[in-house]
Amino acid sequence: MLNKPASFRQTSINIESTLGWPKREMAGSMTSRSKLPPTARSLPITLIRAREHIMAPIRKVLVEEGITEQQWRVLRVVSEAGTIDATEVSERACLLLPSLTRIVRAMLERGLLERVQDTDDRRRQNLSVTPAGQAVIDRNLEETTEIMDKFRIALGDEQHEALIDALTAICEVE
């Protein structure tokens, strides 16, 4: 078994539980004043806490590079896709289209992205990463991978994959 950093609280895992989530027995699972769970057990608040815990070290890397989290997400999505239209980027990068328009404009000005004509529909333009944009990814790949590996190691491969699967399932709930 891997040693987990002190910052990770030990939880008992019930593999049979819905979506493989950790389940912790609590006295008084609802607050006395409302029917809401305590904030320590609130899914939305816990997701925000986890996001901030994961993003804090990555944010430091991005600040040193001079790009925002949103620009990093756009670079990652466009690089992964090769060539992609803005609507698809907004969905994959979790950005509203008006925000993406502003972000893309700044990235075009910095030479990180370029517009390319759609081969099937000449009226449409797609986005692709420039060599300068790919260089940003390449310069930060090792450090961001090391950061993410710490979380994978702390959770273990099985729990890490179960977490990704559970969060993906949540995104599919209507």
Domain parsing of the chain, residue ranges: 54-172
Q: Check pLDDT > 50 for residue 72.
A: yes
Q: Stretch 52-65: mean pLDDT, rounded?
A: 97
Q: Check pLDDT > 70 for residue 43.
A: yes
Question: Residue 159 to residues 110, 129, 146, 147, 168: CA-CA distances in angstroms?
Answer: 39, 33, 18, 17, 14
Domain 54-172: CATH class, spelled out: mainly alpha
Bridge partners of 51, per DSSP, are: none
Instruction: Give pLDDT tens digits for 122-133.
Output: 778 899 999 999
Judge whether 133 and 107 are in contact, CB under 8 Å: yes
**Stated pTM of the model:** 0.76
What is the per-residue pLDDT for 25? Answer: 47
